[in-house]
Amino acid sequence: MTAQTLTLPSPAKLNLMLHILGRRDDGYHELQTLFQFLDYGDEITFAVRDDGLIRLHTEFEGVPHDSNLIVKAAKKLQEQSGCSLGIDIWIDKILPMGGGIGGGSSNAATTLLGLNHLWQLGWDEDRLAALGLTLGADVPVFVRGHAAFAEGVGERLSPEYPEEPWYLVLVPQVSVSTAEIFSDPQLTRDTAPIKVRPVPKGNSRNDCLPVVARRYPEVRNALNLLGKFTEAKLTGTGSCVFGGFPSKAEADKVSALLTETLTGFVAKGSNVSMLHRKLQTLL
């Protein structure tokens, strides 16, 4: 068999709002959130192996090979499909860890979709999303590849069609622990559920923001600076902060002012992920 290779994007996501409704008996939190993708992300290259081995050739500081979500996703798919093929994997990593923009979850989803294609498994999206959920609550939205209103722990998804502005995303140089934020006693856990969709204007807050801003002055600083130009929001549990602009030129203009002292990037919001747009060209 000749080596088949495939390079796929692994996009970032934003939580346009994030409400915490309560804590469940299993320790997880009931959420409502609105996911949208960015045309910005990592790039992952896959090459099929005949010997069944799964090798990630890019090293991640502080993350052992077998603990990486990319490797876990590949191994789970291999086990559950009974596939005898293996894979070599390389990643061009630009999404920050602990940034709230879904880097690890996106990488896992790109791996599942990429290997489903290369290994010719023929799994449908529902089956891949169900496997993805066992890897992390945010993996299914990346597997499905459409902007969505999410409920439960983030796994119950309904397609949504929010506006697709240009975003300036600021990346404070801190990694925020999701577990730390969700265990904070001051976290709001009793927001009333939204029953009307699309999400009504004025319901776009993130319940994690007060806790993150209090704990991380770097995030607080980014929110304050961006807030001088547009509504500044936190994505996920942070650390990334974002704001929307009607044009790339306006986002670039503010970026030029703020990225002298802060790290950041400008990207287009997208309701269909660039991963899925690429996969469509392969069909």
Q: In the annotation, is 184 catalytic?
A: no
102 annotated as ligand-binding: yes
52 annotated as ligand-binding: no
132 annotated as ligand-binding: no
106 annotated as ligand-binding: yes
Catalytic residue among 13, 42, 72, 233: 13
100 annotated as ligand-binding: yes
Residues in CB range of 106: below 8 A, 6 or more apart: 10, 11, 12, 13, 41, 42, 95, 142, 275
Distance CA 21, CA 207 (A): 10
154 annotated as ligand-binding: no
SS (H, E, C) 9-64: EEEEEEEEEEEEEEECCCCCEEEEEEEEEEEEEEEEEEEEECCCCEEECCCECCEC
- Per-residue b/e over 95-125, b at no fewer than 16 CB within 10 Å? bbebbbbbbbbbbbbbbbbbbbbbbebebee
SS3 content of the chain, % helix, strand, coil (to 5): 30, 30, 40
Q: In the annotation, is 138 catalytic?
A: yes
244 annotated as ligand-binding: no
Catalytic residue among 42, 138, 207, 233: 138
98 annotated as ligand-binding: yes
105 annotated as ligand-binding: yes
Catalytic positions: 13, 138
Binding residues for ATP: 96-106
Binding residues: 96-106
